[in-house]
Amino acid sequence: MKVALFTDTFSPQINGVTKNLDKLINYYEKHGIKYIVFAPKMPEIKDYMENNIIRLASLKFILYPECRVSLPNYFKIKEKLDKFKPDLIKVITPFNLGLCGLRYSKRNNIPLIASYHTNFDKYLSYYNLRFLEKPVWNFLKWFHGQSSLNLCPSKMTKRELEEKGIENIRVWGRGIDTDLFSPEKRSNNVRKRYNFENKLALLYVGRLAPEKNLKLLIKAVKLLNKKYKNKISLILTGEGPMFSELKEIAPENTIFTGYLTGKTLASIYVSSDVFVFPSVTETYGNVILEAMASGLPVVAFDAGGVKENLIDRYNGLACFRNNIDDFVNKIEEVISNESLRETLGQNARQHALNNTWNEVFNELFDYYRSILGKIDNNVIKSA
pLDDT in tens, 184-204: 988 889 999 999 999 999 999
Instruction: Residue 36: name the closest of 71, 1, 61 by CA.
Output: 1
Instruction: Report the predicted TM-score, pTM, of the whole model to 2 decimal places.
Output: 0.89
Instruction: Please state which CATH number belongs to domain 2-175+356-382.
Output: 3.40.50.2000
Query: What percentage of the chain has pLDDT greater than the value 90?
Result: 75
pLDDT above 90: residue 159: yes
Q: What is the mean pLDDT of residues 239-246?
A: 95
Residue-wise pLDDT tens digits, 25-69: 999 999 889 999 999 887 766 545 467 899 988 877 766 656 677
**Does residue 292 surpass a pLDDT of 90?**
yes
Does residue 377 carry a pLDDT above 70? no
Instruction: Give the Cα separation of 166 and 163 in Å (integer).
Output: 7
What does CATH list as the number for 183-353? 3.40.50.2000
Helices marked H in the chain:
16-30, 74-84, 96-108, 120-124, 133-144, 155-163, 188-193, 214-228, 243-249, 262-270, 286-293, 324-335, 338-353, 357-372, 377-382
40 phi and psi, to 5 degrees? -70, 145
| pLDDT band (50, 70, 90) for residue 82 | very high
The CATH 3.40.50.2000 portion of the chain extends over: 2-175+356-382, 183-353
Residue 381 reports pLDDT greater than 70? no
DSSP for residue 146: T
* Cα-Cα end-to-end distance for the chain: 13
Residue 145 has what DSSP assignment? T
- For residue 251, say if its preceding peptide bond is cis, omega within 30 degrees of 0: no
C-alpha to C-alpha distances, 160 to 17, 31, 156, 174, 368, nearest whole angstrom: 20, 34, 6, 19, 24
Query: Residue type at 165?
Result: G
